[in-house]
Homo-oligomer: A and B are copies of this chain.
Amino acid sequence: MKSDIPVTSLQRLPIYLNYLKSLPAEVVNISSRAVAHALAMGEVLVRKDLAYTPAQGRTRTGYVRVELIAAIEEYLGCNDVKNAAVFGAGELGSALLAYNGFKNYGINVAAAFDSNPAKIGKTVSGKPVYGVAEAKQRLCELGVRLAVICVPAAAAQGIADLLVDCGIKGILNFAPVLLTVSEGFNVRNIDLAANLAVISSMI
């Protein structure tokens, strides 16, 4: 559905959204030039990115801010709630289960999965923790479409294979390994240590 937009443009939409939402209520209209200036980005780039959304800019005044926010939210699917599951209820997994920011994007973290018998059957931040062995059945019951992998590196590929087998199409991977998935599956990798390392080597 979003195959026409480059991933780099798609990645910038939440940045525009956060910025537009952060402005005081007095800001009724905003131009792509003003957005570009505030975020230190190129004006042409911002205009092109916003053109992928259903927002309609006007000559001179630019966009009506609340309309632009609504258009980006609509484009990102924030109003169409999707269920997600977290694999690995360790420290990072628990942090994500406690995190409230996902709902701003229409994502409901419905459950966690873990292989540790001491965690299975418990709840973390009110979310049930199921065994990995019952993943297929539970993911189906819960209508989960997205998964977040927070298991140790050595276990990550096994979980990715399981997710693909369960029909999960989108994976956010925090394990510091390169996951191999078939075409048609979307994986984003966030290596927390590597991100800090990049800054570290710049200073």
Interface residues of A, Cβ cutoff 8 Å to B: 1-2, 7, 10-11, 14-15, 18-19, 22, 38-39, 75-78, 82, 84, 90-92, 94-96, 98-99, 101-102, 104-107, 145-146, 148, 169-172, 176-178, 186-203
Contact = CB atoms under 8 A, between A and B. Distances in A.
B104 A19 contact: no
A172 B201 contact: no
Contacts of A145: 200, 203
Contacts of A91: 94-95, 98-99
Contact of A18 (B98, B191, B201): B191
B177 A22 contact: yes
Contacts of A15: 178, 189, 191, 194
A194 B14 contact: yes
Given A201-B75, A203-B145, A203-B146, A172 B194 contact: no
A192 B96 CA distance: 9
Contact of A200 (B18, B82, B96, B194): B82
Contact of A177 (B18, B171, B172): B18
